[in-house]
Amino acid sequence: MIHIIGGGLAGAEAAWQAASRGVRVVVHEMRPVRPTAVHKTQQLAELVCSNSFRGDKLDNAVGLLKEEMRRLGSLIMRMADVHRVPAGAALAVDREGFSKAVTEAIESHPLITVVREEITRIPLDASWFPLVIATGPLTSDALSAEIAALVGGEHLYFYDAISPIVSAETIDMNKVFRASRWNRNIRSRPSDSSTAPLEQPAPSVGCGIDDGEGDYLNCPLTRDEYDRFYDALTTAESATVHDFDKERFFEGCLPIEVMAHRGRDTLRFGPMKPVGLTDPRTGRYPYAAVQLRQDNIAGDHFSLVGFQTQLKWGEQARVLAMIPGLERAEFIRFGMVHRNTYINGPTVLRETWQTKNRDDLFFAGQISGVEGYVESAASGLLAGRNAAAVFQGESARVLPRTTAMGALAHYVSHANPANYQPSNITFGIMPPPDAGVTKKQDRKAAISERALRALDEWMRDDVTA
């Protein structure tokens, strides 16, 4: 028998996979006995926010990830396909129908038992192992403390602070100027990084202000502009407050409106600090400045540095449009601060989703250091298969790194542990296609074809498939 703590997207998929291999499973899910601040139902695999599983085509890394999961018999993908609603090239689902179908499939499986209870301690008794911890970004406090003790408190994180992102082509370039603080620019990067630890994808989290080593677009504000912006910010409406909002924020990650409430000039000494930014049109530092940092390789998205915020989205659009240069900015994503409990994967995990210290202890889902519904379910898929394998006395298996699932596992276990950030699946964390494929669309197609070939071969070798 294996035990799984958490019946979310990862836990439900892990349970299904293990049971499909003939192994008995007990899923311990705390809802409805103990709710989270965000879940609204007692269904397993509840979608806490959007109803989208994102792109569903093979020219998109998350589309490839889904196809791999389908081939591996994913319950989450099967039910998502059954409950899909029209959403263009994306896979979106009827959220209630989807979660209800997953719950029914799990609860009616003869090898799976679902116990509704909060697990507050990591069990010591050998009968609990193999054990998969899949308690998600809202892991209860008691278990979070246990996990912190297990992995080391410095390897467990609690919050994600996300800055808004705007489309580059909607920034008024006549009003902004390009400069780095104190004129320090990006240091040249080595051309061959194949042996270096994997770099983080372009950061989109909001914490931290210009460290002086980037090329930024700067929006200068006069005193009048700053005062008007400040008044609008401090009177704007905040998003619905969840319980976790009452908890303390990290001082380095305060929402801008919280900072602003501390005093009229606080932002001018924080994310709107103008020193070191000479406006070429005046030859002087502006009264205040907002820095925009390139957020993706293509350079068509820029994030507002240090502008994590909990304002309602409509309010963000209204207030941030008062920043010179952003009057007509189109928001690719609005800012947020939300609870996100996750471990530092590279220090704790192997590519099999086993911990480095124990073959029979697994992490899966958002808490393992992946980001997103599909990625969470994908990690649960392999963790569940491998937990079943360990129970049956076999070795856990690694998926080829050329598959999306293998690349995700590789990222979580091999990324640079310094400032580790959970990642969505992207083609950027997969090995590049063979030399000679140069066109962008051809490269994506080549990566996807190679991934599915590798997966099919892997499945042929899998005696338990």
Ligand X SMILES: Cc1cc2nc3c(=O)[nH]c(=O)nc-3n(C[C@H](O)[C@H](O)[C@H](O)COP(=O)(O)OP(=O)(O)OC[C@H]3O[C@@H](n4cnc5c(N)ncnc54)[C@H](O)[C@@H]3O)c2cc1C
Nearest to 160 by CA among 409, 342, 295: 342
Of 32-40, 150-158, 198-206, 392-400, which segment contacts ligand X by CB under 6 A?
Answer: 32-40
End-to-end Cα distance, the chain = 19
Place of tokens 């480095």: 356
Decide whether 294 or 368 has the Cβ nearer to ligand X.
368
The one segment of 24-32, 71-79, 227-235, 278-286 that binds ligand X by CB under 6 A: 24-32
- 430 exposed, middle or buried (CB, 10 Å; 0-12, 13-18, 19+)? buried
CA-based nearest residue to 210, from 291, 265, 289: 291
Q: Which window, 48-56, 173-181, 206-214, 221-229, contacts ligand X (CB under 6 A)?
A: 48-56
* CA dist., res. 272 & res. 305, Å (int): 9
Six token digits for residue 374: 């599909």
Q: Which of 3, 4, 7, 320 binds ligand X (CB under 6 A)?
A: 7
**75-82 helix and 9-20 helix, angle to the nearest 10 degrees:** 110
Rg from Cα positions in the chain: 23
Residue of 65, 119, 320, 415 interacting with ligand X (CB under 6 A): 119
Q: Return all residues near 355 (Cβ < 8 A) that are at least 6 apart.
A: 348, 349, 361, 362, 363
Name the region of 136 (left: φ>0; alpha: ψ -120 to 50; beta: rest).
left
> Which of 119, 130, 105 is CA-nearest to residue 383?
130
* Orientation angle between helical segments 440-461 and 61-71, nearest 10 degrees: 20
- 40 or 328: whose CB is closer to ligand X? 40
**Interface pattern 293-332 for ligand X (x via CB under 6 A):** ----------------------------------------
State how beta strands 301-304 and 288-294 pair: antiparallel
Q: Tell me the number of residues near ligand X by CB under 6 A.
A: 36
Q: Let me know: does 11 contact 381? Beta carbons within 8 Å.
A: no
Q: Please, are residues 78 and 21 in contact by the beta-carbon 8 Å criterion?
A: no
Closest distance of CB 429 from ligand X, Å: 16
Q: Which of residues 239-278 bind ligand X (CB under 6 A)?
A: none
Residues 71-100 as x/- pattern, contact with ligand X by CB under 6 A: ------------------------------
Interaction of residue 355 with ligand X, rule CB under 6 A = no
Min separation Cβ 147 and ligand X, Å: 9
Residue 364's alpha-carbon distances to 87, 144, 397, in angstroms, are 28, 14, 15
- Near ligand X by CB under 6 A, which window of 45-53, 72-80, 291-299, 326-334? 45-53
Asked whether the beta carbons of 351 and 421 are under 8 A apart, the reply is no
Nearer of residues 6 and 201 to ligand X, judged by Cβ:
6
The binding track of 369-408 with respect to ligand X, each residue x by CB under 6 A or -, is: ---xx--x--------------------------------
Contact segment (CB under 6 A) with ligand X among 121-129, 165-173, 335-343, 384-392 equals 335-343
User: Distance (Å, rounded) from C-alpha 381 to C-alpha 134?
Assistant: 11
11 binds ligand X, rule: CB under 6 A: yes
Residue 50 or residue 235: which is nearer to ligand X going by CB? 50
Give 143 or 176: the residue with its C-beta nearer to ligand X: 143
CA distance 216 to 397: 44
Q: Would you count residue 346 as binding ligand X (CB under 6 A)?
A: no
- Name which of 171 and 311 has its Cβ closer to ligand X: 311
Site for ligand X in 122-181 (CB under 6 A): 134-140, 143
Q: Which stretch binds ligand X (CB under 6 A): 31-39, 252-260, 284-292, 299-307?
A: 31-39
Least Å from the CB of residue 21 to ligand X: 20
Q: Between 338 and 350, name the residue whose CB sits nearer to ligand X.
A: 338
The answer to whether residue 106 forms part of the interface with ligand X (CB under 6 A) is no
| Cβ-based neighbour number of residue 355 at 10 Å | 20
Task: Report if residue 38 touches ligand X, rule: CB under 6 A.
Answer: yes
Residue facing ligand X at closest CB distance: 8
Shortest Å distance, C-beta 265 to ligand X: 32
Beta bridge partners of 25: 2, 112
4 vs 260, beta carbon nearer ligand X: 4
Strand 2-5 to 131-133 pairing: parallel
Query: Is residue 8 within 8 Å of residue 114, measured between CB atoms?
Result: no
Q: Interface with ligand X by CB under 6 A: which residues?
A: 5-11, 28-31, 36, 38-39, 48-50, 118-119, 134-140, 143, 338-340, 365-367, 372-373, 376
